[in-house]
Structure 1
Amino acid sequence: MFPFPPRKPNKKVIIPQKKNFPSSSPRRVNIPSHFQKNPLITYSQIEIERELQKYPGLLRTLSHAYQYQVTFMDDKTENQYWFCRNIELTMILLKYLNEKNWSVDWQEKPFILK
């Protein structure tokens, strides 16, 4: 008779378990480097409309990178928008704009274009 090789034991099948992550953990957001570097960023009305056409999620990205929005609205000129990272910088900007006699409005996020 022919020699038979010894039988190999059956391999154990390990079924990977699905890890349950808490649903309240926020998704990681990639913030572009130019938003990370600059504590203050400025847009005119035309610039922000043009950027929103190219990048529809721009306001959401800005709200991840910045905390405060300062808006200058005037009938004669176009609107100006400043986005600031912290309250100290926002107060310095508001003080400067009030010295220039500009009437501005500021708000915390979520950001709204007027």
Structure 2
Amino acid sequence: MQQNLKVQADIVNELLGLEAKLEPLEARKEELKEALRGFGAAAYPVFGVGEVTVSQPSVSVKKGTQMVVDETQLSSLSDATVYEIIEKKFVVYEDVMSRAAKSRVEIKLAA
């Protein structure tokens, strides 16, 4: 049992050591990806090494409208009351937007 705990501790220590080394590299990688996004969508092949592809960013677009209402309160009202609430604009519709996203940067190493 103690031997298993030592093996687990060794694995955990190695994993934490790797993470400590990778964290600054990952941060730098994100900085470089952000810089490439500034140049727009493109593919950057490097013969024998791999390719970096930058896609177009997606923008938030209107997908429709949505009624915003406290449904627990609305369900307790009569149909006539609900109709009146809508007519008097106590219940309004809001735009439903898609999520905006940064352009994706893919890195593929040559095999």
> What's the TM-score, normalizing by structure 1?
0.16
More strand per residue: 1 or 2?
Answer: 2
> What's the TM-score, normalizing by structure 2?
0.16
Relative contact order (C-alpha < 8 Å, sep 6+): which is higher? 2
More helix per residue: 1 or 2?
Answer: 2
